[in-house]
A and B are shown apart, each in its own frame.
Chain A
């Protein structure tokens, strides 16, 4: 598997040279993970397949805007998939309304855009440290807490499903998520310089 720097190099080859073999390596690694992530978040397999492909089309088109100083590749691809999912949910809900299809996931995800645009240069430059700290904190969390934290990325229905699987009330799942988030934040705060 390519190393961190090699992944960045692959994206650069796509951006600079339209390198299809580099893209195929990215696709092989990320598309099946994006699909799996979406399915676990409650998207049906067929739609998850489409959204995973669409995510990779966006990786190709936006490759030049990927900035390794801002976010790790997996985080960048996660946000692309997330925005497409938000956009798709809105399109689905507005299927009968006058909402134009393909509004552009970038336009609807104002929160991410605003956070991105408002960032001062010094906020952008510490991605490597931030991502390192997050991954270290996740390693230090108990595996059950990581599992619970994962739930926060899935929809309400999946919370309800998990609550019934664990045979606990939905409120218990929510309070466990809250505890896990609190623990993660304390670990991260402990790592700040």
Chain B
């Protein structure tokens, strides 16, 4: 049962095409598992349609239709063969990759502390987007941190409590620089989160800061 959804502003941003690439990936992972948010996204796209319909038209170039028809007559761009699936690090049994990651490169699991691993997600169309996976063992706690920018998180499996609320599989969270939290994993299995940060995580402790800097999240 999904308890935490993206805000209307984020979903509207997605419908408008105004999200940055990292946010679109993490939001996409939530939306593909959430009928509620798919319905909202469609409503907002319909708002876009209504906005388009009611926009005061402007003149097109005099030869616009002729040029468009010429472009239609040109051979369509070749359909490129589907690329073979990219290699993926292993996941716990029963956990599947969000389809929004399909074209992304996902690194192997790197050690970042006892019971904690992370993986870098690289977007071919936005290599500078800061997207990563965290994999934390049951009962462990991530160092207390805040964010220099907005942090978006999609829970792929497991659950944690960060002092504000409990987050389980399928849940979505947005935390900005006002939020200082320490996600603590619940018992009953490890937790994997897909996250993106606009800016950086800012950890409290010196060791955590060192790891954060090394990891580059």
Chain A residues proximal to chain B, CB less than 8 Å? 20, 23-24, 27-28, 30-37, 39-40, 45, 49, 52-54, 56-57, 60-61, 71-72, 74-79, 81-83, 85-86, 90, 93-94, 97, 99, 102-104, 107-112, 114-115, 117-120, 123, 127, 130-131, 133-135, 138, 149-150, 152-153, 155, 177-178, 181-182, 184-185, 188
Contact = CB atoms under 8 A, between A and B. Distances in A.
Nearest to A177: B9
B72 interface: yes
B68 A27 contact: yes
A40 B52 CA distance: 11
B206 interface: no
Interface in B72-115: 72, 76-77, 80, 99-100, 102-103
Nearest to B104: A110
Given A40-B55, A107-B103, A75 B46 contact: yes
B171 to A, nearest CB: 17
Interface residues of B, number: 58
Question: Which DSSP category, helix, strand, loop or mixed, fits chain B's interface?
Answer: helix
A77 B55 CA distance: 13
Interface in B44-75: 45-53, 55-61, 64-65, 67-69, 71-72
Given A53-B67, A75-B45, A115 B38 contact: yes
Given A39-B58, A110-B24, A114-B100, A72 B35 contact: no
A114 B48 contact: no
B76 A110 contact: no
B48 A117 contact: no
A77 B52 contact: yes
B68 A123 contact: no
